[in-house]
Amino acid sequence: MTQKIAILGASGYTGAELIRLIATHPTLEIAALSGDRKAGQPMSSVYPHLRHLDLPVLVRIEDIRFTNIDMVFCALPHATSQSVIRELPGHLKVVDLSADFRLRDPEEYEKWYGKPHGAPEQQLEAVYGLTEFYRDEIRNARLVAGTGCNAATGQFALRPLIEAGVIDLDDIVMDLKAATSGAGRSLKEHLLLSELYENVKPYSVGGTHRHLGEFDQEFSKIAGRPVQVQLTPHLIPASRGIVMTCYLKGDAQEVHKTLEKAYSNETFLQVLPFGEVPQMKDTRASNFCHIGVAGDRIPGRTTVVAVLDNLTKGSSGQAIQNANLMLGLDETTGLMAPPVYP
């Protein structure tokens, strides 16, 4: 038995990554692909690496017949997504990969995204898609909001620690290194190879990165009181991958034990032996997240490093993982390919 899938916004990187993953998924079947500016084109001209697949031609969203579709992946740009999802037939299960439904509080949404939400009803309904922490809700959800890729990385590092109360909540520093595909296939000067090769570029400094909205929401909810982290993101010369280096106050051994225990049954969340930290490439093109903990010569200080692939575990892999749950499949179906190394 197969489930028929439509991908809206298939011409972006997360769309292409969904297709890559679905190609070896045993039961999902791609029935429709949209790409407004590229409507009418075959996927092989937008993404030649997919040329061996027998894929539907890109169409405009309004030309998709949703009657036969079981599930929609919505990989549209932020703000576009909400207006599209609002109009989709109510029976459809939807996994949204944009930022539109991540924040539950309309005011928080407006604060971080600069305008009122255009689909407040759906916003209320949406389940936050961090699979390992919202499994039950996701299983029963109609609309799941994929998390920010950086937000996912940081939460995998810190949620159990906040929950267990083993770190100082008022002194969390996060230093983010993010590859370029997190910014999509958009034409921006600082994303040119000429600009970013041999470079590291801090951006959104001073607490202005939008994924902070997710950290605020989730960490405060777990802690039962407001929690704010200090975060500096840096663009690095790589196409895929995220490294989140977290500087914490707490006992390193206790931090390690807490993470090990929390993730002992999690397939995709791998906690390294104490004192070892992961490198970014160890999770490349896979749905795995590696997490390491080290102590410091300064007593009471701990460093936690979490790495994952922004397009897979940080976005499209997470989306498939959630879709598996929503469709009653085993959560790991189609997601067990190991990382690509070197």
The reply to whether 198 sits near a copy of itself by the rule CB under 8 A is yes
**In terms of Cα–Cα distance, which of 118, 141, 121, 122 is closest to 131?**
141
Distance CA 225, CA 161 (A): 15
**Residues 301 and 248 sit within 8 Å (Cβ to Cβ):** yes
- Out of 125, 195, 251, 260, name the contact with a copy of itself by CB under 8 A: 195
Span 142-171, contacts to a copy of itself by CB under 8 A: 171
Question: Which backbone phi and psi does 58 adopt, to 5 degrees?
Answer: -65, 135
> Using CB under 8 A, which of 86, 137, 139, 237 touches a copy of itself?
237
* Among positions 54, 90, 114, 298, the unique one binding a copy of itself when judged by CB under 8 A: 298
**How many residues of this chain interact with a copy of itself, rule: CB under 8 A?**
89
List the one residue from 2, 49, 110, 261 that touches a copy of itself (CB under 8 A). 49
Is 124 one of the binding residues for a copy of itself (CB under 8 A)?
no
DSSP character at residue 63 = G
Site membership for a copy of itself, residue 197 (CB under 8 A): yes
Rounded to an integer, what distance in angstroms lies between the CA atom of residue 95 and that of residue 318?
A: 10
d(CA 37, CA 124): 30
Q: Is 56 in the site for a copy of itself (CB under 8 A)?
A: no
CB of 268 to a copy of itself, least distance (A): 8
With CB under 8 A as the contact rule, which of the stretches 59-67, 69-77, 204-212, 318-326 interacts with a copy of itself? 204-212
Q: Work out the burial of residue 277: count CB atoms within 10 Å of its CB; fewer than 13 is exposed, 13-18 middle, 19 or more buried.
A: middle
Ranges within 88-117 binding a copy of itself (CB under 8 A): none
Does residue 39 bind a copy of itself (CB under 8 A)?
no
> Should residue 238 be labelled a site residue for a copy of itself when binding is judged by CB under 8 A?
yes
- DSSP class of 333: T
Is 149 a catalytic site residue?
yes
CA distances from 45 to 11, 18, 23 (A): 10, 17, 18
Active site residues: 149
